Amino acid sequence: MSKTQHKAVIQYYEQTDWDHRYVWNRGAYQAAHFGIYDEKANHHKAALINTNRIMADLANITPGMHVLDAGCGWGGASLWLAKERKAHVTGVNITPYQVAECKEKAKKMDLQYVCTFIESDYCDTPFADEQFDVVWSCESLCHAAKKEDFYHEAHRILKPGGRLIIADYHRIKRPLSKDEETLLLKWLDGWACMDIDTSEEHHRHASAAGFSSVHQHDYSKNVEVSLHNLYQHAARWSWIGTLGKHLRLIKAVRDKNVKGTKAMYQAYQADLWRYMVSLCSK
């Protein structure tokens, strides 16, 4: 990422910390991602964990594997993978306070020997070639300005036969109409994302990076409840954000986050994007 995008992402997570932490999920496995609902998960916290389970199953993560959690946030997925799948996990994140918190959580859960967290850009990591069995990215690739850079870096650090598993947002097409693009970018700007790519563009990035196979799974219907829940939170509290911003009690980033969340759901209803889980093999 560029320095400008780094700053925007760090500022976004610093200033929306309360929103993510207390409005969305207060569990041990802190999650900022959407929940996948199915026959195994029919309520919010179960759906959040279910996203981890589905990604781990698709990537076939087994005990002893070395996993890179790219854009690890508060470390929820990393800690879950270490505890539930007995994996050795390295989480990378550009947000310093989140990295510090991840380390504290790992220590409290006695997972510090199998969970390592460092401050690093997932598009330019300090790791040697062919070091990981799996690279994991859950709703973090959206922040990268050039998605292809991430695919190349993931391919470089994966062992032969390694897998890249990604859950993220894909735009339906490029270009959209002027009004559609405005709505989509209102959401993305509110969430510190410069743009999102189409499924075809993601496939092309993966192939160009050297991945031998790419399988994309559409989970849009499974996250609809989660999308609607987040939209309701935003709709319920948006007036407070507007008032707080006017009174200089709430910073502009938090107000944009709420407005972006409302635009996210409106863009989904307008069929401008979908929620995809992709598995790429080296």
pLDDT, tens digit (0-9, with 9 covering 90-100), for 218-231: 999 999 999 999 99
Overall average pLDDT of the 162-173 stretch: 98
Among residues 24, 2, 32, 150, which one has the least CA distance to residue 101?
32
pLDDT of residue 237: 67
CA distances from 195 to 146, 147, 182, 254 (A): 9, 10, 12, 19
CA distances from 149 to 15, 109, 131, 202 (A): 27, 34, 18, 11
Q: How many residues does the chain have?
A: 282
pTM: 0.94
pLDDT of residue 208: 98
Chain centroid, CA 237 distance in Å: 23
User: Across-strand partners of 279?
Assistant: 165, 215
Among residues 88, 259, 279, 107, which one has the least CA distance to residue 187?
259
Cα 232-140-58 angle, rounded to 5 deg: 95
Query: Token pair for residue 118?
Result: 């460092």
CA distances from 127 to 138, 148, 155 (A): 20, 18, 12
pLDDT of residue 247: 47
Q: Is the pLDDT of residue 242 over 80?
A: no
| Domains in the chain, number | 1
Please report which confidence band the pLDDT of residue 28 belongs to, taking 50, 70 and 90 as the band edges: low
177 phi/psi in degrees, rounded to 5 = -70, 165
Q: Is the pLDDT of residue 173 over 70?
A: yes
pLDDT of residue 235: 83
Give the range among 27-31, 52-56, 165-169, 241-245 with minimum mean pLDDT: 241-245
CA dihedral (16, 18, 22, 25) in degrees, to 10, reads 40
Q: What is the CATH number of the domain that holds 133?
A: 3.40.50.150
The domain in which residue 102 lies consists of 3-281
